[in-house]
């Protein structure tokens, strides 16, 4: 009888209930960690492949816009007679080539 009262007092004071909840969460979480991640990896792979064409088209569009801006900057420098026009043009051309190569390499990397 005394033991029942002692347990009830501990539960009511909040000392035993948090411990039981923590032990239950620990047991449940250890079971959840025991599963493999193959399904999650396959789902992520499917999602990446689904969005990849859209991402490549977006990369090409951003590259085209930045290429036009770069071409205008090179033309302005050339018209004003700046001496570093060649380096600016090389940087602009290199960035455009880089965007095309990155998109191609990523397509071959993912097998698309």
Query: How do the pLDDT tens digits run along the chain, 112 residues long?
Result: 555 665 566 555 666 777 777 778 777 666 555 566 777 788 888 887 888 888 888 888 888 888 888 888 888 888 888 888 888 888 888 888 888 888 888 778 777 6
Q: In this predicted structure, what is the pLDDT of residue 42?
A: 84
Q: Give the C-alpha separation, 52 to 71, whole Å.
A: 28
Q: In this predicted structure, what is the pLDDT of residue 5?
A: 61
Contacts with 41 (C-beta within 8 Å, 6 or more apart), sequence order: none
For 31, the enclosing helix (H) or strand (E) is helix 16-33
Q: In this predicted structure, what is the pLDDT of residue 35?
A: 60
* Closest to 108 (Cα-Cα) out of 61, 56, 40, 46: 56
Q: In this predicted structure, what is the pLDDT of residue 4?
A: 60
Q: Give the C-alpha separation, 112 to 108, whole Å.
A: 6
Query: Residue 76 corresponds to which tokens in the numbers above?
Result: 């302005």
Q: In this predicted structure, what is the pLDDT of residue 27?
A: 75
What are the residue boundaries of the structural domains of the chain, listed by start?
A: 1-35, 44-112
Instruction: Say if pTM beats, i.e. exceeds, 0.75.
Output: no
Query: What are the C-alpha distances in Å from 25 to residues 14, 20, 89, 96?
Result: 17, 9, 62, 53
Ramachandran assignment for 81, one of left (phi > 0), alpha (psi -120 to 50 degrees), beta (any other): left
């Amino acid at each position: 009888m005394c033991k029942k009262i002692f347990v009830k007092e501990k539960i009511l004071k909040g000392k035993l209930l948090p411990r039981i909840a923590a032990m239950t969460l620990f047991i449940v979480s250890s079971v959840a960690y025991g599963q493999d991640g193959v399904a999650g990896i396959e789902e992520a792979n499917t999602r990446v492949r689904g969005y990849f064409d859209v991402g490549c088209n977006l990369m090409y569009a951003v590259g085209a816009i930045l290429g036009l801006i770069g071409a205008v900057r090179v033309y302005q420098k050339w018209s004003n007679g700046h001496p570093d026009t060649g380096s600016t043009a090389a940087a602009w051309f290199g960035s455009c080539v880089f965007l095309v190569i990155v998109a191609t390499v990523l397509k071959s990397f993912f097998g698309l």
